[in-house]
Amino acid sequence: MKISELLKQNTLSLSFEVFPPKTETAFDSVRTATEEIAKLRPAFMSVTYGAGGGTSRYTLDIAKNIKQLYGVPTLAHLTCVSSTKETVQEKIAAIREAGIQNVMALRGDIPEALQSTDRNGWDYKNAIELVRELKNSNADFCIGGACYPEIHPESADQKTDIRYLKEKVEAGCDFLTTQMFFDNNLLYNFLYKIREAGITVPVIPGIMPITAGNQVERAIKLSGSFMPQRFKSLVDKFGHDPAAMKQAGIAYATDQIIDLYANGITNVHVYSMNKPDVAAHIQSNLSAILGK
C-alpha cells in the first residue's frame, strides 16, 4: 500500500523505523527485532539505507521480509550521493521487483573522502536528482523526501533550505518526513513556514525516543537538534540509571506524540530503531488514543 493513501486517515497512527545489520552474522537478530516490531501492526515501517550503522546491502532484504511475512507496508530508503547512475538504476529495479511501492529518496551524508572533490563530476549532487529518477522510472512509486525543522546542517539559512525543499517536492515527493526534534514548537514553526512557501504535501514528524544517557550526544551530533531545558533536566537526573532513563525517554517521546496529535497531526514516525520493546511501550502508552 502507498503511504500517500495511509496518510489520508484522520486518527492517530504510528510508523516505526528500523536499520539493516552491519554484518551478515547480525542479520538474524535484526530480522527477529524487525519482525517483533511488525507484529505491532504499525501504519508502515521504514528501513534505512546505510544509516544508523546498518549496511545498505540488507535494506531490501529486511523490507521484503516485513512486507511478505506481516503485510506491513514498507518504505525502503535509498541514498544517491556516492553512487553511480548505474548502481542507482539497479537499486531502483530491485526495489520495484521486490514489490515495494514506497521509496524514501535521500542524498545521504557526503563521505569524508568526497568532501574536497569537484562536485561537477558527481552523478548525484542532491536528493532532487534521485526524486526525478524515481518519478521517471516506469514504476509507480510513492516517493518520500527528508526535511529539517531546524534546517539542514549544510544550509546557509532556513529560507534557502525551504526553497530547495520546495523544488524537491515539486520534482515528485508525495510526502516528507522530518529529522528528529525535541521541541514540538520547532515543528509547528516549520510547518507554518513551508505552508506559507506553498509546500502542501503531508509532513510526517519524526520522533526519536532517547532511552540511554549516552545516546544523547550521538543524536545531537547526527541531527544538530536543539535540546530543550526540560529534556536536559531529564538526562541530568536519569542519565546514569539505564532503567529510569529508558522510562523517562519513552515518556518524553509519548508526550511529544500526544501534543502533536492534539495539534492536528495524525501520523507520527518513531525512530525506535531496532528496539521492539521501545516501540511496544510507546504504542501501549497510547493504546486508548490509537484504539489498539
Nearest to 46, CA basis, from 145, 152, 131, 162: 145
Contact residue for ligand FAD among 150, 161, 174, 183 (CB under 6 A) = 161
For 181, residues 6+ apart whose C-beta sits below 8 A from its C-beta are 149, 150, 187, 205, 206, 223, 225, 226
CB-based contacts of 182-185 (< 8 A; 24+ apart in sequence): 182/208, 182/225, 182/226, 182/227, 182/228, 182/231, 182/252, 182/256, 183/226, 183/228, 184/256, 184/259, 184/260, 184/263
Contact residue for ligand FAD among 95, 106, 142, 245 (CB under 6 A) = 106
Rounded to a whole number of angstroms, the minimum distance from the CB of residue 242 to ligand FAD is 27
Distance CA 140, CA 153 (A): 32
Contact residue for ligand FAD among 6, 33, 127, 234 (CB under 6 A) = 127
Distance CA 177, CA 148 (A): 9
Q: C-alpha grid cell for residue 116?
A: 574536497
Closest to ligand FAD by CB, 45 or 234: 45
Among candidate residues 5, 17, 86, 90, the one labeled active-site is: 17
Question: Residue 122 interacts with ligand FAD (CB under 6 A)?
Answer: no
Question: Residue 49 interacts with ligand FAD (CB under 6 A)?
Answer: yes
Rounded to a whole number of angstroms, the minimum distance from the CB of residue 55 to ligand FAD is 11
Does 17 qualify as catalytic in the annotation? yes
Tell me which residues in 224-253 interact with ligand FAD (CB under 6 A). Answer: none
Question: Residue 171 interacts with ligand FAD (CB under 6 A)?
Answer: no
Beta carbons of 46 and 14 less than 8 angstroms apart: no
Question: Residue 179 interacts with ligand FAD (CB under 6 A)?
Answer: yes
Contact residue for ligand FAD among 108, 202, 205, 213 (CB under 6 A) = 108
Question: Residue 72 interacts with ligand FAD (CB under 6 A)?
Answer: no
Binding mask 19-48 for ligand FAD (x = CB under 6 A): -----------------------------x
Distance CA 103, CA 144 (A): 6
Question: Residue 168 interacts with ligand FAD (CB under 6 A)?
Answer: yes
Rounded to a whole number of angstroms, the minimum distance from the CB of residue 154 to ligand FAD is 4
Q: What is the CA radius of gyration of the chain?
A: 18
Nearest to 197, CA basis, from 248, 158, 154: 158
For cell 545521504, the residue is 108
Binding site for ligand FAD (CB under 6 A): 48-51, 77, 79, 104, 106-109, 126-128, 146, 152, 154-155, 161, 164, 168, 177, 179, 206
Q: Where in the sequence numbering do the catalytic residues fall?
A: 17
